[in-house]
Copies of this chain bind each other. A is one copy, B any other.
Amino acid sequence: MDQPRGTRVRGTRQASAVAAALTSLPGFCSAQEIHAELRRRGEAVGLTTVYRHLQVLSEQGAVDTIRDPSGEILYRQCGSTAHHHHLTCRVCGRSVEVEGRVVEQWAEKVAAEAGFTSVDHTVELFGLCPDHSA
């Protein structure tokens, strides 16, 4: 846990660049999209590095991750640190945070009834946002 005196996490241009990209992008995007976005901006950051920062950020709870239907992982900087779910547009990735007291309670009840413990749940909603509805 504690650092061995004199060593610490270092601040780098790449770390800031990834964080900045996440802040500016409005919806969920894949690691590869973020990498492409950075190149577009002229910020040279290796794909590996993008993956590493996204992983760290998500472990810290600084970004939320979901899996799109094809299994790809999408990242997004989120407002609330509280537990919540997402309703995401299949076309543009824009997403709305939805809070799911109801779902949590349901999950706990169902798990208890079946005698399961350490229950974790994934709940994702995908649809078409107002701009992309037929």
Known: A102-B106, A106-B102. A119 touches B67 (CB 8 A): no
The size bracket of the interface on A is: 35 or more
- Let me know if A121 and B116 touch, CB within 8 A: no
A134 to B118, CA, bound (A): 9
A111 interface residue per 8 A CB criterion:
yes
- Let me know if B121 and A124 touch, CB within 8 A: yes
Known: A103-B103, A122-B122. A111 touches B87 (CB 8 A): yes
- Let me know if A127 and B120 touch, CB within 8 A: yes
Known: A67-B67, A106-B102, A110-B87. A119 touches B126 (CB 8 A): yes
Known: A110-B98, A114-B87. A121 touches B119 (CB 8 A): no
- Let me know if A123 and B126 touch, CB within 8 A: no
A27 to B118, CA, bound (A): 18
A126 proximity list for chain B (CB < 8 A): 119-122
Interface centre among A116, A118, A121, A126 (most CB of B within 10 A): A116
Which residues of A83-124 are within 8 A (CB) of B?
Answer: 87, 89-90, 96, 98, 100, 102-103, 106-107, 110-111, 114-124
A87-B111, A110-B125, A116-B130 are known; give 6 further A-B pairs, CB within 8 A.
Answer: A69-B122, A89-B116, A103-B106, A111-B127, A119-B127, A121-B126
